[in-house]
Amino acid sequence: MRNKQELIRIEPLETKHHCGILEIVERLPEWFDETARTKSVPTDLRHQLGYVAVSNHRVVGFVTLYVTEGRLHIGWLGVEKELQRQGLGSRLLGAAESKALQMDIDQLATYTLGDSVTYQPYEVTRNFYWKHGFKVYKRSRTDNPGCPEEIWISKQVKP
């Protein structure tokens, strides 16, 4: 009997996956606010590359990617709640790292809620990135009360 993870495949993101991704985002409101759910994610999906985790024809996780300032940036990342903490986010990140190497880009990066802000859901997000060796390379204050500090984090994917 194969385990659950083996039955979940990581595939390149295609238009046919957009609805499934938006359904996951709807179910993760602690991380994706209304603007993200209704505008930012749907728009970005049309313009970013990425990967999805697919189980039995259903999208259960995703990562979107774009190139900026010489780095491959993670735009959006999410795993269906009941499948979190089972290694799926790590597999999606692995696919993103392989893509960076394939594109001859040496850093994977993203930004997220700063660690000066107490908000438990994003502590999970930061723990995930710390576990994978991301380090802060920039901090910025914003005038968004929901996100007063952003941290910009990156990881070297090749020596």
Ligand X SMILES: CC(C)(COP(=O)(O)OP(=O)(O)OC[C@H]1O[C@@H](n2cnc3c(N)ncnc32)[C@H](O)[C@@H]1OP(=O)(O)O)[C@@H](O)C(=O)NCCC(=O)NCCS
150 contacts 112 by C-beta, under 8 angstroms:
yes
Chain residues 94-153 in contact with ligand X, contact rule CB under 6 A: 112, 124-125, 127-128, 131
CB hemisphere CA count around 67 (13 angstroms): 9
Q: Which of 86, 106, 107, 136 binds ligand X (CB under 6 A)?
A: 86
The residue (of 127 and 140) whose beta carbon lies closer to ligand X is 127
Q: How far is the CB of 105 from ligand X (least distance, A)?
A: 20
Assign residue 56 a region: left if phi > 0, alpha if psi is -120 to 50, beta otherwise? left
The residue (of 48 and 112) whose beta carbon lies closer to ligand X is 112
CB atoms < 10 A from the CB of 5, how many? 13
Q: Which of 28, 49, 117, 136 binds ligand X (CB under 6 A)?
A: 28
